[in-house]
């Protein structure tokens, strides 16, 4: 039997980042917002008044987008009314942008509240918007615990930004 190797060197960054957030540094999302990175370098695809959207650095599928408030809160009930309204409007816009850019056949949209529910960054609530295609799961996840992504994140971010719907006009 031959041992097969699949190079996934980018995973080293993820493995090194696992653990509690640095003292006083906040969540990884808060750290991204506080960094000097441009939206292009941080893969932020949309900014609104209270919420923003960015690509998941370790996506389940191409165009896996996260929508979250700027403010670091863990629970839905801790969001302000303005954050709730904008969060769901931004999720809807993210779905529309991904539909326009990638034409998926479906979506998984969800929140993992708390670490036991699968929340890897449970201190900063975020909504996953994951496009899906019939047959998009493949043997790589099952046999190599690896996902195959056909496009660089910077290219995915550019496509989603270009497809992001214009804000609806308000008023008469």
Domain of residue 126, CATH code: 3.30.428.10
Residue 92 resides in a domain: yes
- CB–CB of 106/68 below 8 Å? no
Number of H helices, E strands in the chain: 6, 5
So what's the pLDDT on residue 139? 46
How many structural domains is the chain composed of? Answer: 1
Residue 13 lies in a domain: no
pLDDT score of 25: 73
CA neighbor of 119 nearest in space, from 27, 25, 50, 15 = 27
Please check whether residue 129 lies inside any domain of the structure: yes
pLDDT (tens digit, 9 = 90+) per residue, 14-48? 444 444 444 557 889 999 999 989 999 999 999 99
Tell me which residue range forms the domain holding 155. 27-162
Backbone φ and ψ for 101, nearest 5 degrees, come out as -80, -30
Which residues carry out catalysis? 126
* Within-domain flag for 12: no
Is the per-residue pLDDT at 135 higher than 80?
Answer: no
Portion of the chain with pLDDT greater than 70, in percent: 75
Decide which of 92 and 13 is more confident: 92
Question: Which residue in 7, 70, 36, 48 sits closest to 165, CA to CA?
Answer: 48
Phi, psi dihedrals of residue 11, rounded to the nearest 5°: -70, -20
Tell whether 97 is covered by a domain: yes
pTM: 0.78
Average pLDDT over residues 56-81: 93
The tokens for 103 are 């034409």
Instruction: Tell me, yes or no, whether 68 lies in a domain.
Output: yes
The rounded distance, in Å, linking the Cα atoms of 120 and 143 is 23
């Amino acid at each position: 039997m031959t041992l097969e190797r699949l190079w996934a060197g980018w995973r080293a960054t993820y493995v090194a980042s696992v653990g509690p957030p640095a003292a006083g540094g906040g969540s990884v999302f808060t750290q991204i917002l506080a960094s000097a990175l441009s939206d292009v370098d941080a893969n932020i695809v949309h900014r609104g008044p209270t919420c923003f959207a960015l690509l998941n650095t370790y996506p389940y599928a191409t165009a896996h987008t996260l929508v979250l408030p700027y403010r670091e809160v863990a629970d839905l009930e801790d969001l302000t009314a303005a954050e709730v309204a904008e969060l769901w409007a931004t999720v809807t816009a993210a779905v529309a942008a991904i539909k326009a850019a990638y034409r998926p056949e479906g979506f998984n949209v969800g929140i993992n509240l708390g670490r036991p529910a699968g929340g890897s960054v449970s201190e900063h609530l975020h909504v996953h918007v994951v496009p899906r295609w019939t047959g998009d799961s493949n043997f790589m996840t099952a046999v190599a615990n690896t996902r195959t992504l056909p496009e660089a994140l910077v290219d995915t971010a550019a496509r989603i930004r270009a497809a992001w719907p214009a804000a609806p006009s308000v008023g008469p």
